[in-house]
A = this chain, B = another copy of it.
Amino acid sequence: MAPRGRRLDAGARREQILEAAVACIAERGFGATTRELARRAGVTQALLYQYFANKQALTEAVYERVYLGRLDPRWMREIRDRSRPVERRLEDFYRRYTAAIFTYEWMRIFMWAGLAGEGLNRRYLGTVEARLLRPLAEEIAADGRFGAPELEAMWALHGSLVYIGIRRFIYDLPTPEDPGPAVAAGVRRFLDGLRAEAQRARRRRLR
C-alpha cells in the first residue's frame, strides 16, 4: 500500500496494521511475533504500539474483525420462513453459511483460537446452536415428514459440511473448488436419512 515511512492518517494506518495482523495470525497463529506483523504491514515494529496498547489488544482486535457480525440475522429469519419448503431453506442456509466462513482467515483463526482455549469458540458455537441449529431442528420437525431430529443429529450435519473447510484450510487437502454441490448433496442425504428413520419409527408404532 503506502510506501514505507510515508505518513498516513491514523484511521487508515490502523486498518492497514489490523489487516496485516489478520493475515499473519491466520497463517502462524498467536505465536506470530510483533516484528512479523510489522513487516507484513510495511511499518516498523514500534509503530504497532502507537495503535494498539500491546500484543494482546491487537489480537483481540483481530478476533473482532474476523468474527463480529459474521452471523447474518437475515439467515435466522429465512430459516423460519415457512412459505418455502424446509429442504430449500436448509440448503440455502448452508450454502450461504459455508460461503461466509470458508475463507483462509476465518477457518484458521477460529481453529487457532479453539486450541488456545479462548472463550470465543464456545460463545460463538453456543450461538450457532441456539440461533441456528435449534431453529433448524424445529423447522424440520414442524414439516412432519422427517420426525424431530435431535440436536446431536444437527451437529452431525453441521460437522459434515464444516469439515470441508477444515480439510481445505487447515489440512491443505484438495476439496471441490465450489463447495455448493457437496453442501446440497450433504443436506439432501441428511434429510433422506432423517425421513427413513422417521418412517421406520412410524412403522414400528403401527405394529
The minimal Cβ–Cβ distance linking A153 to chain B, given in whole angstroms, is 7
Q: Which residues of B contact A191 (CB under 8 A)?
A: 193
- In-complex Cβ contact of A156 among B117, B163, B166 (8 A): B163
Number of copies of chain A assembled together: 2
The minimal Cβ–Cβ distance linking A144 to chain B, given in whole angstroms, is 17
- In-complex Cβ contact of A192 among B125, B166, B192 (8 A): B192
Task: Type the 1/0 row for A151-169, where 1 means its CB is closer than 8 Å to any CB of B.
Answer: 0110111111111101100
- In-complex Cβ contact of A162 among B112, B152, B161, B163 (8 A): B163
A170 on interface, CB distance cutoff 8 Å: yes
A14 on interface, CB distance cutoff 8 Å: no
Q: Chain A: how many interface residues by the 8 Å CB criterion?
A: 43
Q: A160-B157, A192-B193, A192-B196 are in contact. Are A170 and B31 (CB under 8 A)?
A: no
Query: By DSSP majority rule, is chain A's interface helix, strand, loop, or mixed?
Result: helix
The minimal Cβ–Cβ distance linking A60 to chain B, given in whole angstroms, is 19
A141 on interface, CB distance cutoff 8 Å: no
- In-complex Cβ contact of A122 among B163, B171, B190, B192 (8 A): B171
A185 on interface, CB distance cutoff 8 Å: yes
The minimal Cβ–Cβ distance linking A25 to chain B, given in whole angstroms, is 11
Task: Type the 1/0 row for A170-204, where 1 means its CB is closer than 8 Å to any CB of B.
Answer: 11110010000010011011111111110000000
Q: Which residues of B contact A190 (CB under 8 A)?
A: 189, 193
What is the chain B residue whose CB lies nearest that of A156? B160
What is the chain B residue whose CB lies nearest that of A159? B163
- In-complex Cβ contact of A160 among B29, B160, B176, B185 (8 A): B160
A108 on interface, CB distance cutoff 8 Å: yes
A111 on interface, CB distance cutoff 8 Å: yes
Task: Type the 1/0 row for A68-108, where 1 means its CB is closer than 8 Å to any CB of B.
Answer: 00000000000000000000000000000000000000001
